[in-house]
Amino acid sequence: MTESVSTPTSTDIRRVLHDVFGFGGFLPNQSDIVTAILARNDAFVVMPTGGGKSLCYQLPAHMMDGVCMVISPLISLMKDQVDAALATGLRAAFLNSSLSAPQKRRVESQLAGGELDLVYVSPERFAMPEFIALLKRVSLSFVAIDEAHCISEWGHDFRPDYLNLARIITEFPQTSVTAFTATATDRVQQDIVAKLGLRSPHVVRASFNRPNLFYKVIPKEKPSEQILRFVRSHTGESGIVYRTTRKSVEQTADYLARHGIKALPYHAGLDDTARARNQDVFNRDDADVIVATIAFGMGIDKSNVRYVLHGDLPKNIESYYQETGRSGRDGEPAQCLLLFGYGDIPKMRYFIDPIENDDERNRALRCLNDMVRYATIFACRRKQLLNYFGEPYAATGDETCCDICAGQVESVDATRDAQIVLSAIARTGNRFGINHIVAVITGDASDRLRQLGHDRIKTFGVGQDQDKRHWRGLIDNLLAQGIIRQTTGDYPVLQLEAKAQQVLFEGRTIEMLKTQRLAARPARRPAVSSAGPYNAALFDQLRELRRKLATEQGVPPYVVFTDRSLHEMARFFPVDAGDMLRITGVGEFRLARYGGPFMETIRAFRKAHPNVECVDS
């Protein structure tokens, strides 16, 4: 929708972007979204985690009269979001069930009195008639709906409370609405737009590419030891370790803690108080690692997570993408490591096989095979992820992209072994499971195998030079590539697909990955950010100062300054206001509030290290 009101110019917008938020330019798509909101048009935005969504509504909230209402289901996240908004000079607050009655009355009074620029509310709050009545007395600048996929029954996290949000446009027809979501298929997009009643919305589907993330897969052997080595290589950095079960979460967190790592568990089996406490400790950098099931993530806005490690195979690409996306939200380099073992596949199939609906079960199997393919095929990891979401990507061999592009992975020709497997399946009539086929190939003749006469077929024993683990791994690889398939039910069997003929008779080659292991001793990582090299010693001092100030003010450290801001300070050594304002993320409000102690620390560092110079830009 559009009103005949004065729309800020691009010069005005960029002035606020620089002076308030400390950014010299927008991330992709941000400018279009901000312009649409300032023009009071409805909008629908698909923007992956780390794409800079909050700025898209915080910047207009700075420039527009009235209050912006953000509707979000993430109650545990609202305080941190408000703290971040306050750090830019916005008058912000939240209303949810975590507040006491006096606290609620104070926020409602501020809202009614026009004392807020931004208010976060839950969908349940918007459903209350008395809250609607309060909003009728307020000048709403616009409404932003976060996690908008929750309104769609076709989305991955449908919530009935979101259906009430269709009342927004009915109750407030002069107010524009912007719906944000991190993932949405075309079907979900159409459903969201229809249910909310968005009026000719400006539609943005941002790229799913996260260029600052490095993707790596290594063979899963002794996961606890591998996780410990990786975490030690990131000493002093924040990270998330995902495990599949509550038991493995507890065991991994305990193992890391016994080896001197500040690690805490997070899973649905913990009570609300314990989960909230562990998340808060992690958000405030008082613990380096959170070990979690997939229950963790939706309620975190921590920007300085430097790595995400999956100790087990995720159930699908979408989950993996969302979970890895919780690293590097500040735009700085981050690592995404997956420990892949073929032994995880039967564990996942154990949960898939009992699914009664054939379509749902087959879809789950396809998703699992997509995940196995990602881990086992010699192809750029980033390209595979983006292709899954329908986004083309031309892999350029960029060594910052993934382990394959960086030359850390070797490809081994497994065509002959693949032909052995396919021949064994064909010669046994496409009627036997994995263990039987492996027994035929390795010459492990049981009484049943002899009774069937399978010890007399041509492929019997031809693969006894390799262990059974090799053949099981190859079978899973062929399943992932769609060359064979596995039936469902109590006794799943292997069957050839049409592609198998290409391998057997038409010269198609099969490759398996030979991946580099983690070093026994963690390598010392160079001090390099997105801006280039920086002084690690100064960065450590600035980070400690940030932690001290954040503790005093009761906010997460990244609310004071992000890692990216500290990296640039440790690169360019700003010691006056003019230089500090050239640092990414340092606006006038943050400079006035926090700049003094940081410039003082930099001056002291330069005095103590007269021979150390900043890196010339």
Residues of the chain with CATH 1.10.10.10: 415-509
Q: Read off the pLDDT band of 300 (50, 70, 90).
A: low
CATH architecture of 10-205: 3-Layer(aba) Sandwich (3.40)
Quote the pLDDT of residue 442: 94
Asked if residue 165 lies in contact with residue 145, where contact means CB atoms within 8 angstroms, the answer is yes
Quote the pLDDT of residue 528: 57
The CATH label, of 3.40.1190.10, 1.20.1740.10, 3.40.50.300, 2.40.50.140, for the domain at 213-410 is: 3.40.50.300
Quote the pLDDT of residue 617: 45
User: Each residue of 334-367: b (16+ CB within 10 Å) or e?
Assistant: bbbbbbbbbebbeebeeebbeeeeeeebeebbeb
- The more confidently predicted of residues 615 and 349 is 349
Quote the pLDDT of residue 519: 52
Quote the pLDDT of residue 518: 56
Quote the pLDDT of residue 4: 47
pLDDT digits (tens, 9 = 90+) for 484-500: 988 877 788 999 999 99
Comparing 48-52, 118-122, 130-134, the range with the smallest average pLDDT is 48-52
The one-letter code for the residue type at 381 is R
Assess whether pLDDT exceeds 90 at residue 147.
no
Distance from C-alpha of 326 to C-alpha of 476, rounded to nearest angstrom? 29
pLDDT digits (tens, 9 = 90+) for 451-476: 999 999 999 999 999 988 889 888 87
pLDDT digits (tens, 9 = 90+) for 163-187: 889 899 999 999 999 999 887 777 8
Q: Read off the pLDDT band of 615 (50, 70, 90).
A: low
pTM of the model: 0.79
Assess whether pLDDT exceeds 50 at residue 357.
yes
The one-letter code for the residue type at 152 is S
Quote the pLDDT of residue 515: 56
Residues of the chain with CATH 3.40.50.300: 10-205, 213-410
Three-state SS at 599 = helix
Terminal-residue alpha carbon distance, the chain: 44
Assess whether pLDDT exceeds 80 at residue 139.
yes
- The more confidently predicted of residues 403 and 616 is 403
DSSP H or E segment with residue 515: strand 511-515
Quote the pLDDT of residue 549: 94
The strand pair at 202-205 and 67-71 is best described as: unpaired
Q: What does the pLDDT average to over 276-283?
A: 88
Fold of 415-509: Arc Repressor Mutant, subunit A (1.10.10)
Assess whether pLDDT exceeds 50 at residue 283.
yes
Quote the pLDDT of residue 591: 93
Assess whether pLDDT exceeds 60 at residue 2.
no
Distance from C-alpha of 421 to C-alpha of 163, rounded to nearest angstrom? 52
Assess whether pLDDT exceeds 90 at residue 408.
no
Quote the pLDDT of residue 16: 93
Quick one: tokens of 504? 């057997």
Distance from C-alpha of 199 to C-alpha of 41, rounded to nearest angstrom? 8
Average pLDDT, the chain: 88
Quote the pLDDT of residue 494: 94
- The more confidently predicted of residues 136 and 355 is 136
Comparing 109-113, 115-119, 287-291, 478-482, the range with the smallest average pLDDT is 478-482
pLDDT digits (tens, 9 = 90+) for 187-227: 888 889 999 999 999 999 888 888 899 999 998 889 999 99
Quick one: tokens of 280? 């808060």
- Name the CATH superfamily for 528-608: HRDC domain (1.10.150.80)
pLDDT digits (tens, 9 = 90+) for 16-74: 999 999 898 898 899 999 999 999 999 999 988 777 889 999 999 999 999 999 998 87
DSSP H or E segment with residue 13: helix 10-19
Assess whether pLDDT exceeds 70 at residue 521.
no
Assess whether pLDDT exceeds 70 at residue 246.
yes
Quote the pLDDT of residue 76: 73
Assess whether pLDDT exceeds 80 at residue 529.
no
Q: What does the pLDDT average to over 514-520?
A: 57
Residues of the chain with CATH 1.10.150.80: 528-608
Q: Read off the pLDDT band of 296 (50, 70, 90).
A: low
Assess whether pLDDT exceeds 80 at residue 517.
no
Q: What does the pLDDT average to over 275-302?
A: 82
Asked if residue 561 lies in contact with residue 586, where contact means CB atoms within 8 angstroms, the answer is yes
DSSP string, 199-222: -S-EEEE-----TTEEEEEEE-SS
